[in-house]
Amino acid sequence: MLYVLLLVLAATGSYAEPLLIGAFNIQIFGQSKMDKPDVVDILIKIVERYDILMIQEIRDSAGTALPELVDRVNAVSPIDYDYVVSPRTGRSSSKEQYGYIFRTAKTKVINEYQYPDNNDVFEREPYTVQFERTSPGNQQTFSYISIHAKPDDAVAEINMLDDVYDTVAKMYGEDALIGGDYNADCSYVCKSCWDDIDMWLDPRFTWLIPSSADTTVSSTDCAYDRLVVAGTQMTANSGPGSVFRFDLEYNLTYEETKDVSDHYPVEFSLY
């Protein structure tokens, strides 16, 4: 099917180089992690893999860790990267941010939006960035909605994401990606719970990461991290999702991997 899609796009002249898009929960990402050279070297390699990488669990009140990471990437990469970051959010003193790192030659940011969450459903309110593809032959725009769900409230938060999408779609159009650490498996979302999750049942949404995936570094087998697309163009042009096992790619030990994060990135190609 993907081969046929590429042939059709090439024949119509609408084919552009695909975007590799990811979501990565970098466990407690802050200056202490940036002070570990071996960890930073791996993070640089991971960032360079993607055209857009959304990072969760930025815990850095000084606001220096993400800019420093992007500076370190740009110091070694022939490709220029930029970033945007959300406000700090969370009910406790341990607040977090969402960050997006992107290749400036292929995409640009045209809008940002923080969901207001007036009913206080979310621990960390979803943050949306609207991107425009700038590659020749494809000026498509789409929204990337980030989520890092509180484990104990995962069902309620996931069930609210369709409302977030509806709000974003009215502002920026129907084409969107909703990605991040949903905590959408194992003890946090039981098997029968899926019957009550609107976004799981709504045919407008396509889940690219299956429940059979394992996105965790530890011995657990849980598909916590997900990528969900919606909108005619976004759905039609999205390839299958996968988990990036950076431990296997870079030949890391378990301890070296855990030093980077307790999650693997999830990813897909947008054609």
Residue 6 is assigned to a structural domain of this protein: no
57 is catalytic: no
Average pLDDT rounded to a whole number, residues 126-144: 91
141 Cβ contact list (under 8 Å, min separation 6): 110, 130, 131, 132, 133, 172, 173, 175
Residue 10 is assigned to a structural domain of this protein: no
Residue 93 is assigned to a structural domain of this protein: yes
20 Cβ contact list (under 8 Å, min separation 6): 49, 50, 51, 52, 267, 268, 269
Q: What is the pLDDT of residue 250?
A: 98
Average pLDDT rounded to a whole number, residues 133-147: 89
**pLDDT reading at 262 higher than 80:** yes
Average pLDDT rounded to a whole number, residues 108-118: 97
3-class DSSP state of 214: coil
**pLDDT reading at 160 higher than 70:** yes
Q: How confident is the model at residue 9 (pLDDT cuts 50, 70, 90)?
A: very low
The residue type of 25 is: N
Total domains in the chain come to 1
Average pLDDT rounded to a whole number, residues 63-91: 97
Q: What is the pLDDT of residue 93?
A: 87
87 Cβ contact list (under 8 Å, min separation 6): 97, 114, 127
96 is catalytic: yes
Residue 25 is assigned to a structural domain of this protein: yes
* Domain assignment of residue 195, given as a range: 20-260
Residue 11 is assigned to a structural domain of this protein: no
Burial of residue 171, with CB atoms counted within 10 A of its CB: 0-12 exposed, 13-18 middle, 19 or more buried: exposed
Of 57, 96, 123, 157, the active-site residue reads 96
Average pLDDT rounded to a whole number, residues 161-179: 98
Q: In whole angstroms, give the CA distance from residue 152 to residue 215.
A: 18
Average pLDDT rounded to a whole number, residues 218-222: 93
**pLDDT reading at 137 higher than 80:** no
Q: How confident is the model at residue 15 (pLDDT cuts 50, 70, 90)?
A: low
Residue 265 is assigned to a structural domain of this protein: no
Of 57, 123, 125, 148, the active-site residue reads 148
Average pLDDT rounded to a whole number, residues 218-244: 97
Q: In whole angstroms, give the CA distance from residue 173 to residue 36.
A: 41
Looking at residue 219, the DSSP 8-state letter turns out to be: S
CATH number for the domain harbouring residue 215:
3.60.10.10
